Amino acid sequence: MLKKRLIPCLFLKNGRLVRSEKFSYHQVLGNPITQVERINSWSADELIYIDISDDQHHDLQRDDHKIKSMDSIYQIIETVSKTCFIPLTFGGNIKNIADIRERLKRGADKVIINTAVFENPDFITKASKAFGRQCIVVGIDVKINEKKEYEVYVSHGKKPTGLDPVFFAEEVEKRGAGEIFLNSIDRDGSANGYDIKLIKMVVKAVSIPVIACGGVGEFSHFVDGIKEGGASAVSAGNIFNFTENSVIEAKKTLKNAGIDIRPIINLSIKNI
């Protein structure tokens, strides 16, 4: 059986690291390069960056000797990849094969595609044939609509699609997705825990790995996502931004709960 994974997810808006809340409020936290250095030292299993910019302007707003100002997502990916020594996934604003190729060329190991999948489902098949299924992660952002039903949203959570997330998950698997990144818009930034019902529904419907995201406020929520939700991997953003040594503490919590995870490898502490 494959080991479960713990994956920090960092959100970028115009080149800066932000805290997200229900996909609508974004608090600027600072520089994304500094954060990846910390996550490296904490021994995360993988790292996800998602670009939620509504335009193509990217600027770290630093012109010191160590970090030059950057005006494109490609420059940011290239810089992050040189610092990141764990598998790196980049998502956001991917519209075509050329966008994927350039991100991989700059150092990403995998990509998350989202809105383009809804607009052109064949894009998944073309991408998986071009780069390998293991490289293609499909992001599914879900919100409870006015009818109190789960619905897939695209365009950074702004546009309802009318699609049921279980149906959509089944479709993207058939078309060649290697993994699903499942994010709850309602739980985003809430710190109230994962939407376990949603995770269980999607996990049950597909055979590919499901990465759960949205709502983590304490380390025990990671345990819930795996033990109750059945997720192959658990991800979060805010808890890794605000809690020192958070990956290490989260892994300790998962191990103590009897979950099979990769060991912590850190020079400053005893490996577990």
Residue 90 falls within a domain, yes or no? yes
Residue 70 falls within a domain, yes or no? yes
Residue 156 falls within a domain, yes or no? yes
Residue 13 is part of which domain span?
5-256
- Domain CATH for 26: 3.20.20.70
Phi, psi of 67 (to 5 degrees): -130, 110
Q: What is the pLDDT of residue 30?
A: 72
Structure tokens at 180: 């699903």
Residue 271 falls within a domain, yes or no? no
Q: What is the pLDDT of residue 13?
A: 86
Q: What is the pLDDT of residue 84?
A: 85
Burial class (CB in 10 A: 0-12, 13-18, 19+), 66: exposed
Residue 60 falls within a domain, yes or no? yes
Report the amino acid identity of residue 96: N
Q: What's the pTM value of the predicted model, to 2 decimals?
A: 0.90
Note the pLDDT tens digit of each residue in 137-166. Answer: 999 999 999 999 999 999 989 999 999 999
Q: What is the pLDDT of residue 41?
A: 67
Residue 267 falls within a domain, yes or no? no
Residue 265 falls within a domain, yes or no? no
- Residues 176, 125: contact at Cβ < 8 Å? yes
Structure tokens at 122: 């064949």
Q: Which residues contact 59 (CB under 8 A, 6 or more apart)?
A: 14, 15, 16, 69, 70, 71
Distance CA 118, CA 120 (A): 6
Residue 178 falls within a domain, yes or no? yes
Residues of the chain with pLDDT under 50: 57-60, 62-69, 267-272
- What's the number of domains the chain is made of? 1
Q: What is the pLDDT of residue 192?
A: 96
- How many helices (H) does the chain have, and how many strands (E)? 10, 12
